[in-house]
Structure formats: C-alpha cells, structure tokens
Amino acid sequence: MIVIQNLSKQFRHKNQVYQALDKVSLDIAEGDIVGIIGRSGAGKSTLIRCVNMLERPDEGAVMIHGRNLATCTPKQLADERKKIGMIFQHFNLLSSRTVFDNVALPLELDKTDKATIHRKVTALLEVVGLQNKADEYPRSLSGGQKQRVAIARALANDPHLLLCDEATSALDPETTQSILQLLRDINRRLNITILLITHEMHVVKSICNHVAVIDQGKLVAQGTLETLLKESQHPVIQQFIHTQAMSLPPDIYNTLQPEYTPGLHPLVEIELEGNVAFDSLVNTFHSQYHLPYKLIKADIEYLGSTNFGRVLLHLQGTDDSNRNALLYLNSHHIKNTIRGYA
Ligand SMILES: Nc1ncnc2c1ncn2[C@@H]1O[C@H](COP(=O)(O)OP(=O)(O)OP(=O)(O)O)[C@@H](O)[C@H]1O
C-alpha cells in the first residue's frame, strides 16, 4: 500500500552536506504498524517527514495507493496529505484553542460544515476518551491527554495512515502504555496503518509488527522484531537490545572483587539471544553440573516462544562446577561476562 522507493535527501549547512537519507526503500502493507529505529541523527524523522512530503526528497518516490506523492501537483498533494495524520513528541496543540477547537481545526480548514464538525469532533473525543474535556484548554491537560487531543486531531480527516514522531517520548511509562493501547485500537478498529519512530524497545515490542532500522541515512535491516533480534548482528539492533551493562545491587557491588580468590564465586552476566532459553540453561546448570546459583537480576523480554535479554547469575558451586558451567557457556557460544567474584 505504501511503497518507499530509493528515497534520498541531503541537507546543506555552512558548506557541509548531510546525507540524511540514502536510497531508502521500504514496503508497508495496509494495516501494518511499522517501527523505525536508529541512532540519533540516523535520518528517522527525515524519512517520516518525506512520506507526507513535509520534507521534499531529492530523489525517489513515495507511492501511496499507486500514486507518487513526489510528483503530485500541489492540489493533489494537499488532498493526499489530508489522508495522512501526524502526531509529534510535543503534541503541537494550539494553546489559544479549546480541546474541541483543536480537533476541529483540520475540518475547519477543509471548509466542513458546522454540523458535521460537531458530529465528528464529538465522536473523535469519544474515541480518545476525552469527551468531558471538550471545553478545556491544553494548559489544563496532562501530557497523555494532550497527546490524545493530538491523536483525535490527526484522525479528523479519516486518514488511512498515521505518522508518529516519538509520540510517547515525553510521557511517563504508564501514560505511554495507554497511548500505545489507543494507537493499537485505532489501528485495528479504523484500519489505519501506522508508521512510528521510537528509541524504546518496549514500544516496538508492544505494538509494532514490523521494524525498519535506519543507520546513517541507510535502511540497514527490516523485518519482524523477532527475526531481527535472532538474525541481525547489526550494532544498532544490538545497542537497541543492550543499552548498558546491568547495574549491580549495592550489597553485591560493595563486596565484588575483580580477581578470583579461593572462597569467592563468579558473578556472570549472560546474554540471552533467542536461541538460548533461560529455563533450559538453568536446568542444564542444575542437572549436568549440580550447580547451585542465585539469580541476582533478570531483564528478559519474551517474544513468542523465544526470549531476549540478560541475566546476572551468582554461581555458587564448587570451583570445578563453576568452571564447567562457564566452559559450557563458552563452548555453546553463549555470550557472557564475568563481572567479578563475590
Ligand atoms: N532541516 C535540516 N537542515 C539541516 N540538517 C538537517 C535538517 N534536518 C535534519 N538534518 C540533519 O539530517 C540528519 C538526520 O536527521 P533526522 O532528524 O532525520 O535524524 P533522526 O534519526 O530523526 O534523529 P533524532 O533521533 O535525534 O531525532 C542529521 O544529521 C540532522 O542534523
């Protein structure tokens, strides 16, 4: 339904040229929720802004239902844009307008009659759960409520595509979840395709059925999150999974020794990468090496039948069984780091 073909965009600034997008191609099926991830400055916003031509690409095409937006006349482009809603990290509401009037704005600009505006805005405020806030001003709303108003406004012209630029980045975790739930409902109930930028793993995991990874303006990987995590060694994906080493609980941190000393046991951080099931790993430790251990910390994401993440295990067996367990990890190419001995 949306076909992005060889999209390129350069920015020039004080004799310097930034290749923000470099021949990016991506197919998005109707009803998909696609997450775009990548480092800061990778080109994610530029890509999403080129989809509705807020940013004009230098080269390439954005085909929506067979029509290339890059070659549309201004009138055709204005019509196509009405069918593409957009929401932003900082909501972009008009502070001088009430909630109702913010949502009504695109309809007013489209010269919709008053009765229709009233009917549509009332229905949209119900969709986003703000029917009792119609007469309030944005300043009296929470961040999550502001984003709900922005979503209602983005839906005013019955779009088939919703672009979300870091839409939950300014929200606390609980509000983020409720906004994601709303986006999922909108996607299912109204069959709106969603293209979103995020830097948060849990956002992708919660709602995206596809992921596109952008690095230095290039599309470097795409697919389901599960396949990407299993198959791609690309540093952006690895970084996305493992942002930093696990923090240690204070009692362990204070007693941890960098070198082995008789009587101390290794504290090992193990990476679970989809082919390593946590349950079977600890079963092996138990059945093959009779190894007592203490699970100090776990950060595991379950995706379908596989798991990803990290665990911190304090191996508490004899020197031999501890060593054998570490050998088992290495011989099975299970990434692990000894964080110290305690
Ligand atoms: N209007 C502009 N003028 C000049 N350079 C720009 C402009 N917009 C973006 N760039 C540059 O293009 C590159 C890609 O920017 P973009 O905002 O698309 O990245 P991003 O992946 O969305 O980053 P972030 O996650 O930090 O928002 C950056 O080097 C940025 O500085």
User: What is the residue-averaged pLDDT of the chain?
Assistant: 90
Ligand 1 atom closest to residue 214's alpha carbon, by position in its atom list:
21
The alpha carbon of residue 163 and the mean position of all alpha carbons in its chain are separated, in whole angstroms, by 13
pLDDT score of 301: 78
Dihedral sign of CA atoms 110, 115, 121, 124 in order: negative
More confident call, 149 vs 18: 149
d(CA 45, ligand 1 centre) in Å: 7
Closest CA relative to residue 291, chosen from 266, 258, 255, 262: 266
Write the ipTM: 0.95
CATH superfamily of the domain spanning 2-235? P-loop containing nucleotide triphosphate hydrolases (3.40.50.300)
Dihedral sign of CA atoms 305, 306, 311, 313 in order: positive
Closest CA relative to residue 274, chosen from 233, 231, 242, 234: 231
d(CA 19, ligand 1 centre) in Å: 9
**Mutational test site, ligand 1, from 7, 14, 18, 49, max ligand atoms within 8 Å of CB:** 18
Q: Do domains 2-235 and 250-341 have the same CATH topology?
A: no
Instruction: Write the pLDDT tens digit of every residue in 184-240.
Output: 999 999 999 999 998 777 788 889 999 999 999 999 999 988 788 777 777 777 777
What percent of the residues of the chain are helix, what percent strand, and what percent coil, each to the nearest 5? 40, 30, 30
The alpha carbon of residue 305 and the mean position of all alpha carbons in its chain are separated, in whole angstroms, by 21
pLDDT score of 258: 79
244 band by pLDDT with thresholds 50, 70 and 90: low
d(CA 260, ligand 1 centre) in Å: 48
Count of CB atoms within 10 A of residue 314's CB? 19
CATH superfamily of the domain spanning 250-341? ACT domain (3.30.70.260)
How far apart, in Å, are the Cα atoms of 56 and each of 9, 75, 94, 144, 216?
Answer: 8, 16, 25, 31, 19
d(CA 281, ligand 1 centre) in Å: 43
**Domain ranges for the chain:** 2-235, 250-341
Strand partners, 222: 212
